[in-house]
Structure 1
């Protein structure tokens, strides 16, 4: 059975997999750097009070690396390792995606000192659709009013210089061209006003959505300042909220900016748009800004095409102010100013640490969401098994009432069948009178056995055969339901188990599984055969009675004859009974009567004993039939469904224990991260 907890690779890996994942190259490197950062931080703290700020940054970096190490060790036990697919694992819930994202965080926080000097703050501009005007927003932000024509051409033709395969372009400040074809060098004052080096990454307007492009999602999530541009007319705001998109856009981050295309602030639709996003901005600390980049470009174009007259300057100022692009600049400035540093590189590192902390929170939030889904999936599986088990219990209760009970009384049909058989046999038993035994003594066993065969619960046997057919049909229904339940889980579900499918098929293939016509009638034949011994004993009693009566009659006749012989002096007086003839005749007749009476009593007692045995067999038949029906229901009719329910319930129980353990670990990490 799969031991994982979600999707094709599962949510929960085995202990061996966990150990392998936690000791991966990334995890080992993070662990080494955590120790190095702690050592460095301790050394810095001991140095002097003049280096208090760098020491603080080192502590923050060490704390983020520590949390990163614990998170990278935990995520393999929660997230599926399968690649994202349209019908399988989503990109946001993929372990590979978060390993790449957190790997980027690790790289940012462990840069060598010489590389750290060249590090930059990453600002990413992403338009959610073609109408989002991300291209125009970048120009409106970076283009200066009196920039040279050469710089304006470089900025505005940045995509024409790129190859078709390039999906993004990076814009940096510089005075000499870049050797990297993906990097555009411009001399924009906007890039120099934040006291830290800035790099703007702009996605191509035709780039796939983050849900279908891992690289785009990775760059967007690892951005220090993600700017999401959306046109509410073409893209509903509900579709970009964290609960709707896959992966959710990084709108829950404090450093994220949501720029909504809108005309002037006085436009009537602006108030309605603001009412939709204001709850989101208040809950998630999201910077929501309404901008009109096309108006800003119009103002720049007016200033570039005309003479620098007061009218053109006024139009430029009106358009730029009305476009509200300056609010994005102010938002970026507020975000970057929230982190201080003794140098530009230290401030960039602090911003990267802040981004890393936010990404770790996102990863833990994703882990919590995956665990919640796993818990819902476990509850759904448990609900399905409970429904099937309820149907099984209902079928068992109905089977007893339908087979044995009329009007809800168990054993009524059996009692009536046994009573009917007794009434059928009674004339035969009554016909076996003592005086008929002399010529039928050798036929008692055959007569009684034949009567039992004719009368022994024939109607009940036919009813049991009929109900056996109904149970066979019910068995097929439960088998199909169990197989449907076992196969209802997708391939990437931990409840999808080929082993369980094979177990159910093996149970259904066993020879004792089929419900045959004689499945319920075996107790009838077994109990009927038990009447053979009482019948044999009755036959022996009949023989003894006949022998006893014959002996008594012969003895009485002998005594009477001996009295006559004495009286007649027969055989020369050799026979002498010592009594008169009348006395000898009386004694002989009395002995005969006593012997016959004794034999008749023994015969009647033997018949009463046979009827008692009949009653005991009838009572045992009721117990046996009910036990056989229960055993048939348990071992045949619901055997497959019972096995399916038991296996799934065991999986759910084990799975819930692991879910609770992982939820506690995730919550502990989030609490520790929030405390720092």
Structure 2
């Protein structure tokens, strides 16, 4: 079957599939746990052989371990702790290889992984079953013993077979020893994984192996090809693992013929199950087998061996064995694993496996960093969009009362429906109109009730009359402000809900960031706490008084003790008292003099000096009263002008104060909750982004070093590098 040979570059193109956490708390799907069709794998066509697929395979194991260690540096690590364990295992392997004199005889670990429905256990049985070794009288099949031990092991747990002379012995930790010459000769350790689970333990096992046999069957492949799978539905776990590790050196796919599908149907099934790129990679390493024929072949061999003891042995059993065994093609599997070390030294096998681990580590670290940067960009966009909405809310609410044409003058207009609109040229603003109304009331009070000549007997009414007049200070604006406060109260509820949605979305995106940003969980919790603290300490229910505060403040200043009204009333009282006293003294003096003048004849010369003519006394009294009244009018008008000046000072700038207070209410009580969250999000994205960029730059530096030409002096540096491990 002709196919184009390809190599896997393992570059993740979808950053949403790169976080390597597994379990229910995983933030995003990983490359090795995602849906098959979402596997982010690029395939680069190449004519290189399967044993040279890694661009850095010429590097030593020690150098590979050193590079892997640099990626798990706490300052630059992007992936989770599971990769720390893999790097530690790689470092131990490098240290062991450096301390081993016979480097070429390190064990070669082969993993056989597949579903029980694909007869993976039976494949192992056919591989280790040797009827010629059995003593039919005293021993049962060793393969049956191994299968019995396998059946007692925990599902989805690895089962290891190692060489040891003598009968089958159980190993501590799920495994057996088996006396097979080819296990010893080929320096093999075989690990069986039936019905694998997508756990980090499974991935660790596959990363740590030197060769992998994935076992499936044509029925499972046919089902993948003909059954559409909905988004999010898991594929066959074996097929998922194949997609993940297809580019690993010495990976082969064993397809058990259950339906008897032809090769083209098998390839279609592989493409449907694992993707076109994976099917191209595994096509040269595809081994079709018939496990049922292999089992039947061994049964025929046993019958042939038993028939040898009969009087007339037949060749039928031998012929049947030969036919079935050749058709089963299990011999190709045996030949493959038994000759791994002969084709490549164990040093090359281990180094190739380590290089694949490092390449995946780099690829997924880079893809995770890219995913984190993408998530941070989403967070920045989220915060920027929230701030744009906040600005739009401020602008719309403010321009509803202060349109752009009058935004800098603060002019307000007032119409019959109590909606503030821009004032027309030459017209009075709502504030001016309200001030004019109060001013007219004050002026009317002075002109009709508080004339200067009424001051003496109405001095006690000055405070009451002016307080009554000023009590309606800007009263016409209060109905408009009450309407606006009700509208803002509704808007406040909407904005608080928007802040809740913003905070929820922030927490969702923050959870998608990989564990490489250690402070994400703490920082996200702090943002939530800050948002709650702002609401409890700053957020207040908007009431009509919220927008009327400048009016209430001025009204209070007018009415308070020491204010303009109080000063006018006090001065008016003093003026009335002094004027009344002057009038009383004048009247008393003039009256006394007039009495004395009328009785001059009865007094002596000394008393005559104090006497006046009655007509003269009356004139003098009128002159004195005129002078007192003139002074009283002048002083009272002076006090009145001073009050008017104070009044003008209080009324000036009210429109600007109303606008400033309105904008303050908008910023603190309307957009404040969202503003607190969005500003913290922008601050955190900048902080997190700096860390992720540093991590990405470090990963790219390590990756760039891998593609450098091999240094001939590398061997001389291995010893010093080994010491650093």
Q: TM-score range by the shorter chain?
A: 0.5 to 0.7
Match for 2:438 among 390, 396, 421? 421
- Tell me how far 1:233 sits from its aligned partner: 4.0
Structure 1 residue 271, shift from structure 2 partner: 4.7
Query: Per-residue deviation at 1:124?
Result: 0.6
Report what 2:253 is aligned to: 258
Instruction: Check 1:438–1:375 CA distance in 2 against 1; reply closer, same or farther (3 A cut).
Output: same
> What RMSD over aligned residues (CA atoms) do the two structures have, in Å?
5.6
- Structure 1 length as normaliser, TM-score? 0.67
CA offset at residue 653 of structure 1?
A: 1.6
Distance 1:495 1:57 in 2: 39
Structure 1 residue 464, shift from structure 2 partner: 3.6
2:277 equivalent among 260, 268, 280: 280
Contact 1:513 1:635 in 2 (8 A): no
For the 8 Å contact 1:210–1:247, the answer to whether it is kept is: no
Match runs of 1:317-328 below 5 Å: 319-320=327-328, 326=332
Structure 2 length normalisation: TM-score?
A: 0.63
Q: Where does residue 122 of structure 1 map in the other structure? A: 109
Give a deviation string over 1:590-628, Cα, whole Å, max 9, x none.
999999999989977876775565454333222222222
Secondary structure in 2 matching 1:110: helix
For residues 534 and 185 of structure 1, what CA distance do their matches in structure 2 show?
Answer: 110
**Cα distance, 1:283–1:312 mapped onto 2, change above 3 Å:** closer
Shift in Å, 1:444: 4.3
Mark the CA change 1:258 to 1:426 in structure 2 (over 3 Å): closer, same or farther: farther
Please show how residues 153-192 of structure 1 align to structure 2 within 5 Å: 153-162=141-150, 164-165=152-153, 167-172=157-162, 176-177=166-167, 179-181=169-171, 182-187=175-180
How far apart are residue 664 of structure 1 and its match? Answer: 1.1
Whether 1:138 aligns to 2:124 is yes
Measure how far apart 1:441 and its partner are.
Answer: 6.2
Secondary structure in structure 2 of the residue aligned to 1:124? strand
Report the equivalent of 1:89. Answer: none
1:662 is displaced (CA, Å) by: 0.7
Match of 1:457 among 471, 474, 489: 474
Structure-2 change in CA distance of 1:378 and 1:444 (3 Å): same
- Cα distance in 1 for partners of 2:207, 2:554 equals 78
Distance in 1 of aligned mates of 2:212 and 2:535: 59
Partners of 1:7 and 1:513 lie apart in 2 by: 43
**Cα separation, 1, equivalents of 2:382 and 2:537:** 26
1:224 to partner: Cα distance: 0.9
**Does structure 1 retain, via aligned residues, the 8 Å contact 2:387–2:675?**
yes
Give, in whole Å, the separation in 1 of the partners of 2:440 and 2:284. 94
Deviation at 1:428, TM superposition (A): 3.0
Question: Could you report, residue by residue, the CA deviation over 1:640-665 in whole angstroms, capped at 9, with x for unpaired residues?
Answer: 44333333332222111101111111
1:223, distance to aligned residue in structure 2 (A): 1.1
Distance 1:215 1:546, change over 3 A: closer
Corresponding residue of 1:669: 702
Q: Partner of 2:92: helix, strand, or coil?
A: helix
Distance 1:538 1:228, change over 3 A: same
- 2:202 aligned to 189, 212, 216, which one? 216
Q: Which residue is equivalent to 1:232?
A: 221
Distance in 2, matches of 1:673 and 1:521, equals 71
TM-superposed CA distance for 1:222, in Å, is: 1.0
Match of 1:198 in 2: 188
2:550 aligned residue: 523
Q: Higher mean Cα deviation, 323-332 or 618-627?
A: 323-332
Asked whether the equivalents of residues 267 and 279 of structure 2 are also in contact (C-alpha less than 8 Å), the reply is no
User: Cα 1:351–1:267, aligned 2, differ >3 Å: closer, same or farther?
Assistant: closer
Q: Is residue 280–residue 286 contact of structure 1 (8 Å, CA) maintained in 2?
A: no
Question: Are the equivalent residues in 1 in contact too, given 2:463–2:566 (CA < 8 A)?
Answer: yes
Quote the offset at 1:547 in angstroms: 11
CA contact (8 A) 1:302 1:315 kept: no
Mapped to 1, the partners of 2:57 and 2:265 lie a distance apart of: 45
Q: 1:412 to 1:674 in 2, by over 3 A?
A: farther
Task: Tell me how far apart the structure 2 counterparts of residues 209 and 312 of structure 1 sit (CA, whole Å).
Answer: 39
Question: SS of the counterpart of 1:101?
Answer: helix
Inter-partner Cα distance in structure 2 for 1:674 and 1:332: 32
Alpha-carbon separation, structure 2, partners of 1:396 and 1:365? 46
Aligned mate of 2:665, from 632, 656, 660: 632
From 290, 294, 302, give the equivalent of 1:293. Answer: 290
Check the 8 A contact 2:531/2:676 in 1, yes or no.
Answer: yes
Gap regions ≥5 residues in structure 1: 12-55, 81-94, 340-346, 554-569, 575-580
Aligned to 2:31: none
Distance in structure 2 (CA, Å) of the matches to 1:471 and 1:57: 68
Paired position in structure 1 for 2:39: none
* Structure 1 CA distance for aligned equivalents of residues 644 and 280 of structure 2: 87
Q: 1:6 to 1:419 in 2, by over 3 A?
A: farther
Matched, 1:99 2:60: no
Matches within 5 A, 1:529-568: 529-531=556-558, 533-535=563-565
- For residues 462-473 of structure 1, what are the structure 2 equivalents within 5 Å? 462-465=479-482, 467-468=484-485, 471=488
User: How far apart, CA to CA, are the structure 2 residues paired with 1:287 and 1:247?
Assistant: 14
Bigger relative contact order (CA 8 A; separation at least 6): 2
Encode CA deviations 1:344-380: one digit per residue, 9 max, x unaligned: xxx2133212211211222233323433343344344
User: Alpha-carbon deviation of 1:426?
Assistant: 4.7
Q: Contact 2:249–2:352 at 8 Å: present in 1 too?
A: no
| Number of matched pairs | 579
SS in 2 for 1:521: helix
Distance of aligned partners of 1:309 and 1:504 in 2 relative to their CA distance in 1, 3 Å threshold: closer
Q: Note if 1:354 corresponds to 2:352.
A: yes
Q: Pick from 259, 266, 269: which aligns with 2:265?
A: 269
Deviations 1:382-426 (A, max 9, x none): 444445444443443344356776465499654453344345445
Q: Label 1:58 to 1:661 Cα distance change in 2 as closer, same or farther (>3 A).
A: closer
8 Å CA contact 1:131, 1:234 repeated in 2: no
2:294–2:324 CA contact under 8 A, matched in 1 = no
2:475 is the alignment partner of 1:448: no
